[in-house]
Every structure is written in structure tokens, then in C-alpha cells.
Amino acid sequence: MILHEDLDRILITAEDIKKRVAELGRAITEEYRDAPEPVVLVCILKGSVVFFSDLMRQIDHDCRLDFMIVKSYGGGTESSGNVRFVKDLDNSITGKHVVIVEDIIDSGLTLTFLKGNLITRGAKTLKICTLLDKPVRRSPKSTITVDYCGFTIPNEFVVGYGLDYDEKYRNLPDIGVLKPEVYTKA
């Protein structure tokens, strides 16, 4: 694929992602096995869209889908924790089992805000499922616990499988680390 030319190296192959997503799907299926109610899967756009669409098909339960777009104020590469809803959920989550599906947790501030907000709407249970986690980047202000995590990764900027650099590389099937010259060119 032409996008591979910009990668320093592949961190996680499409094949390994597929295996891990199937495992996460099985774990989530097991978690709600005895729950008669549907589970609401919340996709945090845009980065989670690829993970979300693969994960939902590995969950053997009655699932409902909803989508959110959130933007963190402050700009730059650091998230500030001041989050603005660009698109809110379409349906009420009061009394529902909710799973937030994220692409990557970095400082954890976006999800700390989001989790607090969704709890105030009366979700019955709220779990966090992330494909990637960079725990060394976690802010002391973050209060989240990750319930499901695909891969713990080092402190490097990664792209592919939904994750972008300046909106590019989302359609790359693998997850990789960019060559430094890709950043310096910009």
C-alpha cells in the first residue's frame, strides 16, 4: 500500500489486530451474557470507526450503535480535558449498558470528561474499550480505568486502522509509526 512508504515501521499488523479484536469481542460477549438488555456501543468519531465496525461484529449480543464527535479545546498535540460536543448521541442512554469504544487513550482527559458526562445521564453500567493505550502518557488528572484494551503501546505517535496524522492514514490496514520526515515536512 502506498501509505506504507511513510512508515518508519509497522507496530501492529492487520492480522494481529484482527485476532485481538476477536478476543475483545468474546470478552465483551461474556461480560453481558446474562444481561437481558441490549448493549449500547458508543463510537467516538472519527478515529474509532474502523475498530468499532470490526469489534461490533465480534460481539454476540443484542447491540445498538450510537456515535459522538468530541473536540478537545486548546489545540496542539496535548489534550486539555475541556471537551466540546460536536455531535452528541442520538438516543438516550438512561438505564442502558454502555460501552465507549475509543481508538487510543493518551492523557485520558477526553475520556475522563466523557465518562463523567455519560454517568450523569444515568447509564446503568459504563465500560471503556480502547484499541490502544499509552499508559505512560496518562495525566494525573485522569480518573478513568480501562475495562478492555487491545494493545498497550510505547509513547510513539501511531497511525492507521482509523488513527490519523492530520486526517491522513486512517485507511491504512496496519498500525504503524511514521517516519520523522513526515512531521518535519509539514
Positions that interact with Mg ion (CB under 5 A):
47
Name, in order, each residue with C-beta under 8 angstroms of 70's C-beta and a sequence gap of 6 or more. 44, 83, 84, 85, 86, 110, 113, 114
47 near ligand IMP, judged by CB under 6 A: yes
Under the binding rule (CB under 6 A), the answer on residue 104 touching ligand IMP is: yes
Site membership for ligand IMP, residue 174 (CB under 6 A): no
Q: Which of 105, 118, 149, 175 binds ligand IMP (CB under 6 A)?
A: 105
Q: Which amino acid is at 107?
A: S
* CB-nearer residue toward Mg ion: 25 or 47: 47
123 is a contact residue toward ligand IMP (CB under 6 A): no
Q: How many residues bind ligand IMP (CB under 6 A)?
A: 15
Classify residue 179 by its DSSP letter.
Answer: P
Nearest distance from C-beta of residue 34 to ligand IMP, angstroms: 31
Q: Does 109 bind ligand IMP (CB under 6 A)?
A: yes
Enumerate residues 6+ apart whose C-beta is below 8 A from 16. Answer: none
- A 10 A CB-CB count for 106 gives 22
The DSSP call for residue 50 is H
- 130 touching ligand IMP, by CB under 6 A: no
Non-local (6+) Cβ contacts of 165 within 8 A are 157, 159, 178, 182, 183
Judged by CB under 6 A, the residue of 66, 125, 157, 173 near ligand IMP is: 157
User: What is the chain's percent helix, strand, coil content, to nearest 5?
Assistant: 30, 35, 40
Regarding 107 and contact with ligand IMP (CB under 6 A), the answer is yes
Chain positions contacting ligand IMP, by CB under 6 A: 47, 79, 102-110, 157-159, 163
